Amino acid sequence: MTVIRTTRQVEPADVEELPARRAALVGAIRASFTGLAEARLTRLEDGAWLDAWRWDSAEAMQAALAAGPMLPEAGLAVALTRDATAEVAELVDEL
């Protein structure tokens, strides 16, 4: 089952640096784990940032979440995160 994990945060500590650190993290995750199909970063009208990662399965996502924090890129990206909340949703339909 495909799942999408979204993380919402207030404006990051360093707006200019976030895209590069996030890109490095996405690359490291893809090199180390299978199943990350897509990652999209958006800025919402209220100034918050929404990062949506689409996974081929909940198991693939869980494996990356469990071991991913050990990656140096994870620490660098998370250092910019402020007041983040995350949710996981099962993809039910897509047109």
- For 5-62, write each residue's pLDDT tens digit: 999 998 777 788 889 999 999 999 999 999 999 999 999 999 899 999 999 999 999 9
From the candidate CATH numbers 3.30.1330.10, 3.30.70.100, 3.30.43.10, 3.10.110.10, the one assigned to the domain spanning 3-90: 3.30.70.100
Report the candidate in 2, 59, 1, 71 with the shortest Cα–Cα distance to residue 30.
Answer: 71
pLDDT at 39: 98
Q: Which is higher by pLDDT, 93 or 12?
A: 93
Q: Where are the alpha helices (DSSP H) in 33-89?
A: 58-67, 72-78
Residue 80 has pLDDT above 90, yes or no: no
Strand partners, 36: 55
**Alpha carbon distances (Å) from 7 to 30, 54, 56, 83, 95:** 18, 12, 18, 10, 23
pLDDT at 12: 72
Residue 81 has pLDDT above 90, yes or no: no
Prediction pTM value: 0.91
pLDDT at 78: 86
